[in-house]
Amino acid sequence: MKKLCAALLLVMVGLCLAPPEPAQARVYIDITKPSSRKIPLALPNYGLLPAGGAAELGVQGRQVLVGDLTYTGLFDILDPKTYLGPAQGEVNPRQWKRIGADLLITGNYESTASTLSVEMRLYDVTEGKLVVGRRYDGLPSDMPAIMHRFADEVMEALTGEKSVFSTQIAFTHSVGGIKEIWLMNFDGSGARQLTHRGDICLFPSWSPDGRLLAYSCYVNRRPAIILHALAGGGGQVIVNKPGVNLTPAFRSNGQLAVATSHTGKTNIFLSDQVGNLGANLTDGWGIDVAPSFSPDGRQMAFCSDRAGQPQIYIRDVDGGAVRRITYGHKYAAAPSWSPRGDRIAFQVEVGGVFQVATIRPDGSDQQILTSGYGGGEEPSWSPDGRLIAYASRATGRYQIYVMTANGQPIKRLTDLPGENGNPAWSPRGVVGVK
């Protein structure tokens, strides 16, 4: 109980400092322009507050924050060797402007065996003002979580919204013919197995609140749709119609779309969370699979071979004509609609290799983001619409990588044996393990 109570103290309180100007006063990073330059940022070693504390906590905290900010692809963390002195006491903006910094982050902390207090500040050294100041209290083991939270505060102050530091990525991990659903933190840490079905599980999809995962897995020798609560349990079969039941996808209102062949044709149907099928969203004679909804839930992208080869189509959920949006390649599949609504990511065959591409919902401005033999497949957007997770064979076997929305590589997320694919990025607020 004592440990639980201490953990609950991991709360933010405003520092008793001059109040920063509203973030809207200056647009630091326009996240609608993925080609924006990286902002030079100084992040010196953390200092100790009067009560003192363990030196390794400061080292750990800075490492986590550097990793988080680097992960966004938006910051150029300046080499500490260029710093002209420590960042203790009153900040001298001129000192930091001389080394080319636009922003400065300082950290100070104190700790005991059972407590941790951290003060974090973000400064605009160009304008000589404090942008964000926060104090966090918790356990010493909470340092990574505190840094993730402050990284979100930094992103919100500079871009107007939080980033991905409270998210997880579901994916498939295959060894020896068995494919299970695994989870990992946004940066690839904390990878752990979620399902233990001993069969082939595919196509994970998150509910809008992040509490449920839907996926397809073989049950009695045919693919069924399973709903799995992250709070516990082994998952519940909700759709197991004759034929195949594949590619579940959540709509913004909590409904599911599933591809099923129980009518003799593989079409996409709406379903509630207990498996009651409703309206069919497609009614073609081809194979219609892989639904992905627009953020408002009014439109659905999907893959169909109705024209002879798999391509991406869009239709209004409430009716209306189906329109094809991909042309020029013989194979396009696995659509993923950006949370911003402005683009759809998908995989497309280029020179015999699948690559990740994006396109506007009206079919214009197609962009190929990956290249090379390893290619890219099964893209999934981050909840802020800035990053894309995808699977690639760049190392000879499938691993999961992340890049920016305009194709700038960020990092490889998995380094597990076997094959890893089908990444699905969670909504914000789904906190993983440390």
Average pLDDT, rounded, for the chain: 90
Q: For residue 323, what is the enclosing H or E element?
A: strand 323-324
Residue pair 313/325 in contact by the 8 Å Cβ criterion: yes
Residue pair 379/345 in contact by the 8 Å Cβ criterion: yes
Closest CA to 307 of 322, 295, 318: 322
Report, in angstroms and rounded to the nearest whole number, the Rg of the chain calculated over CA atoms. Answer: 23
Q: Report the C-alpha gap between 245 and 215 in whole angstroms.
A: 10
For residue 375, is pLDDT > 50? yes
Which residue segments constitute the domains of the chain, with CATH numbers given?
A: 2-24+37-159 (3.40.50.10070), 168-425 (2.120.10.30)
pTM of the prediction? 0.89
Question: What confidence tier does 35 reach under pLDDT thresholds 50, 70, 90?
Answer: low
Residue pair 185/147 in contact by the 8 Å Cβ criterion: no
- Helix 55-71 crosses helix 143-159 at what angle (to 10 degrees)? 40
Interval 87-146: pLDDT, tens: 666 788 889 999 999 999 999 999 999 999 999 999 999 999 999 999 999 999 999 999
**Residue 232: predicted pLDDT:** 85
